[in-house]
Structure 1
Amino acid sequence: MSNGVRIAVLAAAVVLLAGVAAGYTALAADRTTRSSTGGTGSTLTLTPGPRLLTITDRHLATVAASDPGGPRTVSTVECLRVYAAAGTGICLRPQTAWAYEVVVLDADLRPRQTFAVPGLPNRARVSPSGRLVAWTVFVGGDSYTSSGFSTRTGILDTRTGAAVGTLEEFTVLRDGRPYRNVDVNFWGVTFAADDNLFYATMSTEGRRYLVRGDLAARTVETLRDNVECPSLSPDGTRIAFKQAIDADPMRGWRLSVLDLASMRVTQTAERASVDDQAAWLDSATLAYTLRQDDGRPDVWTVPADGAGTPELLIPGAESPSPLTA
């Protein structure tokens, strides 16, 4: 990661961190006054069904997949990032004003595991079976970064309790050869259906790679450069990702789709810069967060094949996750 990119990312993180800290007191006070139900009168659950999970005003919320702009069911659970699959959820949330934690939730939003993480929440994912959860946080203080800024990405097996504290522990193959460098960083895990294979982003020497990981073998191998925040399609054949324009993140990102068999990239019809890990609503449609000039988030959708036009899906929401079985 170049110095310019590090500084830009650090500045964005600091702004977000300050906002989180400023809002935490209000959020804490709001905990006791929030209802666990929304406009439909239903209780929010993560049970698979025709609904979309999002974050609204830092609280978990669901909407009907058939009417995403309609009534919302809002819970008392606060999260900065969320994802769910097969009745398991991962919530990255404030622990105190300047500390954060990962919470693994069951289908009824009861905490199953909770542990502190050393940085600002950034990405979260759950494997299709609900067994594995992954998270990425921004951290500071690593001596190898001139800006004092990097990431930390971990994986937890919710059945066995086995945890990977950081993917930096894994053996790396770059272009088929063993590779080690103190500047290696990982972020944006996405899981295959077998609860072993996964994909993520690895950065080193100013370049960002799509890597394929083997959890059992504790290895990752590079597949292609300029791929960030991958999201594996339901059929396991394509990866949605954000592609830096001219390989320069300072110029923004294009939401794109990589065919894993041919390595062919298709750019979607979304022309705005998408700084998010998109979610697949189905085999043909992507959902992602865009922020307005005042910082307000909205969830948008666009076809994955490059056709069509972007459409507003859920106003005033972020971190979309399909709950459909």
Structure 2
Amino acid sequence: MNALTTRAKVGITVLTALLLASVAVVWALTRPDPQVEVDPTVSLRSPGMLVRDTTTGRLALVRADGSRAQTAATCARVYAAGGRAVCLRPDEASPGTFVLDVLASDLSVERTLPVNGVPTRARLSADGRMVAWTMFVSGDSYTSAGFSTRSGLLDLATGVLTSSLEDFRLVDAAGKGGKPPTDANFWGVSFAADDNTFYATMATGKHFYLVQGDAAAETVSVIGDGIECPSLSPDGTRLVYKRRLPDSTWRLEVYDLGSTRRTPLAETADVDDQGVWLDDHTIGYGRLDPANGRVSVWSVPADGSGSPVELADGAESPSAPT
């Protein structure tokens, strides 16, 4: 498949958002690395919440008392589950490019995979078998200034690699269909407990469709609209997602897969992140403070009640407490 002919540029507001996010990521990864005291006792099984420390760029552990321990892993985006972590990081052998590391529980590298673009999202299935990532990619659309996204999957049990979800078939309820639209962009993958079903956003035209995917069959089906960066609850019944507003900011909401009911959450600030379920009742997410440019991890109840609570200053990419 020729990427130059299978992608068209996205809307101007989306292009602007991707450009700004890409610039921010590259700047954060190329500034001088501060001196870091690494705690060699930390593993993916250590009690606490795992985050990316925005000051050091390291995978870090935030303990229940608020203290923080740095690890030796440097990541642009990171996510941990099932005793593994996926770490998208700069490729030291090729400046300006990135690779994906699969980390074992002791933070040793199990597998490294080259990826094209600038990291934006990373996910693992609950048992650590399935890996997903989304990258900002420049030059994929028919204008040299165009930006698009590319999402891939890796099954660590079988070794099956999907370089781009755009290679999957888009099917209807009867299983009929074909290639996704030429302007389709996929992002924000989240896996179900069966290690086969997944949810993601497919943007095409003016729509941000929620799709349900079948990794083995290599298909996706549209099941909703206006849903970006879905993340499946531990019980498999709900998705937290971000809803795009007319001014191109986002609000967090929860989508019930059974009833299709949508519940706005108590967080009213602009949240450009893929939320994570810290448990069946609590959503975690990274939130940028426009006043100082710092990103911090916050939480909010999943039923629309309560109010946001800051969990970790200078942190992003949270993973549920281990």
TM surpasses 0.5: yes
Question: For residues 34 and 146 of structure 1, do their structure 2 counterparts lie closer, same or farther at Cα, with a shift above 3 Å needed?
Answer: closer
Matches within 5 A, 1:54-133: 54-56=51-53, 57=55, 58-64=57-63, 66-67=64-65, 70-96=66-92, 97-133=95-131
**Structure 2 residue aligned with 1:215:** 215
Matches within 5 A, 1:252-267: 252-267=249-264
Distance in 2 between residues matched to 1:206 and 1:142, nearest whole Å: 19
Distance in 1 between residues matched to 2:167 and 2:70, nearest whole Å: 38
RMSD over aligned CA atoms reads 1.9
- TM-aligned CA deviation for residue 259 of structure 1: 0.3
- TM-aligned CA deviation for residue 203 of structure 1: 0.7
**Structure 1 residue aligned with 2:4:** none
Deviations 1:87-118 (CA, angstroms, capped at 9, x unpaired): 11000111144111100000011011112111
Say whether residues 1:20 and 2:28 are aligned partners: yes
Distance in 2 between residues matched to 1:136 and 1:88, nearest whole Å: 18
**Structure 2 residue aligned with 1:278:** 275
Which letter maps to 2:60? Answer: A
Provide TM-score, normalisation by structure 2: 0.90
Distance in 1 between residues matched to 2:110 and 2:215, nearest whole Å: 22
* Contact 2:138 2:144 survives alignment (8 Å): no
Which letter maps to 2:211? Answer: V
Distance in 2 between residues matched to 1:190 and 1:256, nearest whole Å: 16
- TM-aligned CA deviation for residue 296 of structure 1: 1.2
Distance in 2 between residues matched to 1:297 and 1:150, nearest whole Å: 24
Distance in 2 between residues matched to 1:251 and 1:204, nearest whole Å: 16
Distance in 2 between residues matched to 1:320 and 1:171, nearest whole Å: 32
Say whether residues 1:8 and 2:16 are aligned partners: yes
- Unpaired segments of 5 or more residues in structure 1? none
Question: For residues 185 and 199 of structure 1, do their structure 2 counterparts lie closer, same or farther at Cα, with a shift above 3 Å needed?
Answer: same
Which letter maps to 2:276? Answer: A
Deviations 1:203-248 (CA, angstroms, capped at 9, x unpaired): 1112111100001111000111110000000000000000112xx4
Which letter maps to 2:240? Answer: A
* Contact 1:85 1:323 survives alignment (8 Å): no
Q: Secondary structure at the match of 2:208?
A: strand
- TM-aligned CA deviation for residue 314 of structure 1: 0.8
Deviations 1:125-164 (CA, angstroms, capped at 9, x unpaired): 0001110110000001123468421011011111222111
Q: Structure 1 residues 173-182 or 7-16, which shifts more? A: 173-182
Distance in 2 between residues matched to 1:90 and 1:7, nearest whole Å: 26
How many equivalent residue pairs? Answer: 307
* Contact 2:252 2:265 survives alignment (8 Å): yes
Provide TM-score, normalisation by structure 1: 0.89
Distance in 2 between residues matched to 1:124 and 1:145, nearest whole Å: 27
